[in-house]
Amino acid sequence: MKHEICKVADVPQTGSLIAPFFGREVHVWRSGERVRAAANVCLHFGGPLDCKDGKLVCQWHGAAFDMESGDRLEGPAPKSVATDVPVDARRGRRVELCLGRVTCLRRMK
């Protein structure tokens, strides 16, 4: 089952949109023709992330993650962040996340 998190038209050409997802937040952004998403939570202490220059950066301790690969670039986070959360934007109007991914987002918090 999929859940609409935003409209494709709401996703900015640069930067990201923070959308609610069952009591949590996800960053949603464009990557070429694709729309991608990641939980808005750092894997260090669970701080919120900012979108800056192609990176998701922890507001608390400065851990930085590459938005394309999810790789940890710097900071105290122990591992990479998942930027490959399945997003369905093929219909061209809605951005949907699969409800089965809620477990993955919970593990990140």
* Total-model pTM: 0.80
pLDDT, greater one: 96 or 101: 96
> Which pLDDT score is estimated for 65?
92
Q: What is the DSSP letter of 78?
A: S
How many structural domains comprise the chain? 1
**In the chain, what's the furthest Cα-to-Cα distance?**
39
The residues facing 38 across adjacent strands are: 27
User: What mean pLDDT comes out for the span 3-7?
Assistant: 86
| CA–CA gap between residue 69 and residue 92 (Å, rounded) | 24
16-67 pLDDT, tens digit per residue, is 999 998 888 999 999 888 888 888 998 888 899 999 999 999 999 999 999 9
User: What mean pLDDT comes out for the span 67-85?
Assistant: 82
The domain of 29 spans 2-108
- Phi and psi at 82, nearest 5°, equal -75, 115
CATH number, domain containing residue 20: 2.102.10.10
Label residue 108 by pLDDT band (50, 70, 90).
Answer: very low
